[in-house]
């Protein structure tokens, strides 16, 4: 009987806790869906500041803006973490065309971040199209030498998760120049990383390997890629011309921006929620990743507005340099280690400001099970996809310190329509979808703080 009573008590306590939690989570959603300034913050970041590639004046303005915003919101502590960042600049916009006999057809390209420039006169060379590195290597130096290698393997449209489709294609962008240069190519082009068919070239980072000649590389729009591919079938001997003016300057000083609400019971245990402040130079960086930044700040604002006093310290971190170096993420983990900070968990939003679907978890099976036990509290808000997954680039370096990583998973269908292009604009973010993301992150962090892991 005693046992039964104990069981009963446990059960009712559990039920009571769950009901309290569901009330608090409802309050979090109500607050954010009614009073959130996050959409206006995003407007400021994207429209007043705009592009903010690491090392640019836009990036510095974004640092100042987010520091001032968090100070104005009255967070307990707001501070900067200095990091040195790569400083790549595009220079004048690229020029490119297909020279098919007497016909010259201009196509939209964008130099990849980290690429060298062409010579000031540009490059003109025959083109060899491949779908992957295997195919390139089979062609051999004889067929590649002196040419522009054109990587044209599309993202797989049948993947429901577009990030998987991206992962399956982005090696072409990252390593394409090096693989082509090994066989004597003079330049490289890559089909833009998107399933959309349009005229927007999608930039993004690439890297060179030591000991291999550096050749310039650019992304070509998907429509441009289709046209080039079709033209090559008709006229294999056509040439492609491109000129780009980018260069890598010495590393620049920049910052992560951190704001925190100090924990009431365990102030030395930290939960991070963050996004990255830098964007590509062509983009307003609305989905990538202005959304993640304002959502993270909004989590703390909503806690304050609702009088939620977390036991642990909650930190909003605006990471610098996710796009082309990850120096902010690496630097943050270094600071944490140096200062013996204990991080419980880190949540990142860097998949766009779309309707929430869930969270990916990087942790032990037990930690994952603990988090998945909250599903009944989160499913009413459309958060059905909570389980093993990926965390986020910026919080990744914290994994070595045993920190549980949580990647916010919004609906992924539209993300790569905008990613790294001039159309990643404020107007493509929906206010409600952005707010629901912030609310989902706040609900998760409320539970992480209350129950630990």
CA 213/CA 181 separation, integer angstroms: 6
| Closest to 96 in 3D by CA, of 117, 131, 124, 127 | 124
Query: Between 179 and 433, whose beta carbon lies closer to a copy of itself?
Result: 433
Nearest distance from C-beta of residue 385 to a copy of itself, angstroms: 8
Query: Between 153 and 262, whose beta carbon lies closer to a copy of itself?
Result: 153
Residue from 22, 33, 171, 207 in contact with a copy of itself (CB under 8 A): 33
Query: Between 60 and 430, whose beta carbon lies closer to a copy of itself?
Result: 430
Establish whether 82 is a catalytic residue: no
Residue from 132, 229, 248, 355 in contact with a copy of itself (CB under 8 A): 355
Interface with a copy of itself includes 131 (CB under 8 A)?
no
Report how far apart the first and last C-alpha atoms of the chain are (Å, whole number). Answer: 32
Interface with a copy of itself includes 430 (CB under 8 A)?
yes
Choices 28-36, 58-66, 73-81, 229-237 (CB under 8 A): range interacting with a copy of itself: 28-36
From the number of C-beta atoms within 10 Å of its C-beta (0-12, 13-18, 19+), residue 228 rates as buried
CA 450/CA 377 separation, integer angstroms: 14
Residue from 179, 289, 348, 433 in contact with a copy of itself (CB under 8 A): 433
Query: Between 143 and 432, whose beta carbon lies closer to a copy of itself?
Result: 432
Touching a copy of itself, residues 34-73 (CB under 8 A): 34
- Tell me how far CA of residue 80 lies from CA of 260, 292, 331, in angstroms: 12, 18, 11
Interface with a copy of itself includes 426 (CB under 8 A)?
no
Choices 27-35, 42-50, 85-93, 177-185 (CB under 8 A): range interacting with a copy of itself: 27-35
Nearest distance from C-beta of residue 297 to a copy of itself, angstroms: 20
Q: How many residues bind a copy of itself (CB under 8 A)?
A: 27
CA 249/CA 263 separation, integer angstroms: 41
Nearest distance from C-beta of residue 33 to a copy of itself, angstroms: 5
Interface with a copy of itself includes 195 (CB under 8 A)?
yes
Interface with a copy of itself includes 436 (CB under 8 A)?
yes
Nearest distance from C-beta of residue 290 to a copy of itself, angstroms: 18
Interface with a copy of itself includes 278 (CB under 8 A)?
no
Choices 100-108, 225-233, 302-310, 432-440 (CB under 8 A): range interacting with a copy of itself: 432-440
Angle between the N-to-C axes of helices 291-306 and 2-35, in degrees from 0 to 180, rounded to the nearest 10: 120
Nearest distance from C-beta of residue 413 to a copy of itself, angstroms: 5
Tokens representing 9 are 């008590």
Query: Between 216 and 412, whose beta carbon lies closer to a copy of itself?
Result: 412
Question: What string marks each residue from 150 to 169 as x (binds a copy of itself by CB under 8 A) or -?
Answer: -------xx-x-x-------
- Tell me how far CA of residue 73 lies from CA of 48, 256, 304, 383, in angstroms: 19, 18, 9, 28
The one catalytic residue among 94, 322, 323, 433:
322
Interface with a copy of itself includes 411 (CB under 8 A)?
yes
Nearest distance from C-beta of residue 157 to a copy of itself, angstroms: 5
Interface with a copy of itself includes 29 (CB under 8 A)?
yes
Nearest distance from C-beta of residue 417 to a copy of itself, angstroms: 7
Choices 114-122, 271-279, 313-321, 412-420 (CB under 8 A): range interacting with a copy of itself: 412-420
Nearest distance from C-beta of residue 431 to a copy of itself, angstroms: 7
Touching a copy of itself, residues 363-392 (CB under 8 A): 379-382, 384-385
Choices 182-190, 226-234, 278-286, 409-417 (CB under 8 A): range interacting with a copy of itself: 409-417
Interface with a copy of itself includes 431 (CB under 8 A)?
yes
Binding site for a copy of itself (CB under 8 A): 29-30, 33-34, 157-158, 160, 162, 195-196, 355, 357, 379-382, 384-385, 411, 413-414, 417, 430-433, 436
Active site residues: 322
């Amino acid at each position: 009987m005693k046992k039964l009573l104990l069981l009963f008590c446990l059960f009712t306590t559990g039920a009571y806790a769950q009901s309290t939690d569901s009330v608090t989570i409802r309050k979090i959603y109500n607050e954010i869906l009614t009073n959130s300034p996050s959409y206006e913050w995003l407007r400021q970041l994207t429209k007043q500041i705009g592009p903010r590639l690491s090392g640019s004046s836009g990036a510095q303005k974004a640092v100042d803006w987010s520091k001032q915003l968090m100070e104005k919101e009255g967070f307990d502590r707001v501070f900067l973490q200095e990091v040195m960042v790569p400083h790549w600049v595009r220079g004048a916009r690229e020029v490119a065309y297909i020279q098919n006999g007497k016909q010259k057809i201009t196509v939209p390209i964008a130099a990849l971040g980290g690429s060298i420039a062409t010579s000031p006169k540009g490059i003109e060379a025959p083109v060899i199209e491949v779908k992957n590195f295997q195919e390139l290597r089979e062609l051999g130096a004889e067929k590649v030498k002196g040419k522009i290698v054109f990587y044209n393997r599309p993202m797989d449209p049948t993947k429901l998760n577009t990030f998987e489709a991206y992962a399956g294609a982005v090696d072409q962008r990252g390593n394409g120049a090096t693989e082509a240069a090994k066989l004597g190519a003079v330049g490289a082009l890559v089909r833009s990383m998107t399933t959309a068919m349009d005229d927007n070239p999608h930039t993004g980072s690439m890297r060179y390997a030591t000991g291999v000649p550096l050749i310039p590389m650019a992304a070509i729009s998907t429509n441009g890629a289709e046209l080039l591919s079709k033209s090559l079938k008709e006229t294999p001997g056509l040439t492609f011309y491109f000129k780009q003016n980018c260069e890598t300057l010495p590393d620049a000083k920049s910052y992560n921006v951190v704001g925190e609400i100090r924990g009431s019971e365990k102030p030395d245990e930290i939960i991070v929620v963050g996004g990255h402040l830098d964007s590509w130079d062509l983009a307003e960086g609305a989905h990538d990743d202005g959304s993640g930044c304002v959502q993270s700040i909004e989590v703390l604002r909503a806690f304050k507005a609702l009088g939620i006093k977390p036991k642990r310290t909650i930190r909003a971190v605006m990471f610098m340099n996710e796009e082309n170096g990850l120096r902010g993420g690496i630097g943050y983990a270094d600071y944490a280690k140096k200062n013996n900070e204990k991080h419980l968990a880190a949540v990142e939003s860097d998949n766009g400001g779309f309707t929430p679907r869930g969270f990916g978890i990087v942790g032990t099976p037990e930690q994952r099970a603990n988090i998945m036990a909250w599903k009944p509290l989160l499913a009413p808000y459309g958060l059905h996809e909570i389980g093993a997954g990926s965390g986020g680039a910026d919080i990744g370096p914290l994994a070595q310190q045993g920190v549980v990583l949580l990647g916010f998973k919004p609906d992924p269908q539209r993300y790569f329509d905008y990613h790294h292009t001039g159309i990643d604009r404020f107007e493509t973010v929906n206010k409600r979808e952005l707010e629901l993301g912030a609310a989902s992150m706040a609900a998760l962090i409320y539970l992480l703080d209350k129950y630990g892991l």
